[in-house]
């Protein structure tokens, strides 16, 4: 059992938003809301039900940052593949040129440069993947916040003299 306030805190929404969502689905949640000492609690079924309803209303919008990071990630992966291909080619050249020590030294230097470049690209790839994941989490959080704010905004109507008041009922 979890209180309305705890549910609101866990989902980063207002208590009022929880109360409105529960009242919206009053029939479906009948028997799953318990009152104790002037506090209302949700059982596991009610929590799962509300989560499903909340998630079904989220609108996913990719930000330019996520698109740019994803594109950069793809570029780095392609560059990584190209570097691996070049390393393989250089290793083959090394085997063919074992008799010529000058060529061997040059090829070894190129391999080291490419391996260093490969490590740098791999590190950048990991960093960008982490950034993309964080941006996805941020996007999901902002979408939830946006939905909650839109619901809150829609609960007000203009009254006389340009003031706003909560809708009744």
Q: What are the domain boundaries of the chain? A: 2-56, 64-154
Note the pLDDT of residue 59: 46
The strand ranges marked E within the chain are: 2-3, 33-36, 39-42, 156-158, 164-166
pLDDT at residue 103 greater than cutoff 80: no
DSSP label at 32?
S
Question: Please, which pLDDT band fits residue 58 given cuts at 50, 70 and 90?
Answer: very low
In this predicted structure, what is the pLDDT of residue 115?
94
CATH tag, 2-56: 1.10.10
Partners of 3 in the β-ladder: 41
Q: What is the pLDDT of residues 24-48, one digit of tens each?
A: 998 888 888 888 888 999 999 999 9
Strand pairing class (156-158; 164-166): antiparallel
Measured at the CA of 99, the angle between CA 95 and CA 105, to 5 degrees, comes to: 70
Model confidence pLDDT, tens digit, residues 116-168: 999 999 999 999 999 999 999 999 999 999 999 999 888 888 888 778 888 87
Please name the residue that has the structure tokens 């689905």. Answer: 25
The pTM for the full model equals: 0.34
DSSP 77-107: HHHHHHHHHHHHHHHHHHHHTTT-HHHHHHH
User: pLDDT value at position 61?
Assistant: 44
Determine the Cα–Cα distance for residues 39 and 5; give it in Å rounded to an integer.
Answer: 9
Is the C-alpha dihedral spanning 64, 67, 73, 79 positive or negative?
negative
């Amino acid at each position: 059992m979890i209180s309305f306030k705890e549910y609101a805190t866990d989902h980063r929404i207002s208590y009022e938003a929880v109360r409105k969502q529960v009242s919206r689905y009053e029939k479906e949640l009948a028997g799953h809301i318990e009152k104790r000492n002037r506090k209302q609690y949700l059982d596991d079924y009610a929590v799962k039900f509300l989560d499903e309803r909340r998630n079904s209303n989220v609108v996913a919008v990719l930000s330019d940052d996520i698109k740019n990071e994803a594109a950069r990630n793809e570029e780095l992966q392609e560059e990584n593949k190209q570097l691996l291909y070049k390393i393989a080619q250089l290793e083959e050249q090394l085997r063919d040129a074992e008799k010529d020590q000058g060529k061997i030294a040059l090829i070894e230097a190129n391999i080291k440069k490419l391996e260093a470049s490969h490590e740098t690209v791999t590190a950048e790839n990991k960093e960008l993947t982490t950034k993309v994941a964080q941006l996805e989490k941020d996007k999901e959080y902002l979408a939830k916040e946006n939905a909650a704010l839109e619901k809150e905004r829609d609960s007000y109507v203009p009254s006389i003299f340009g003031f706003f008041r909560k809708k009744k009922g």
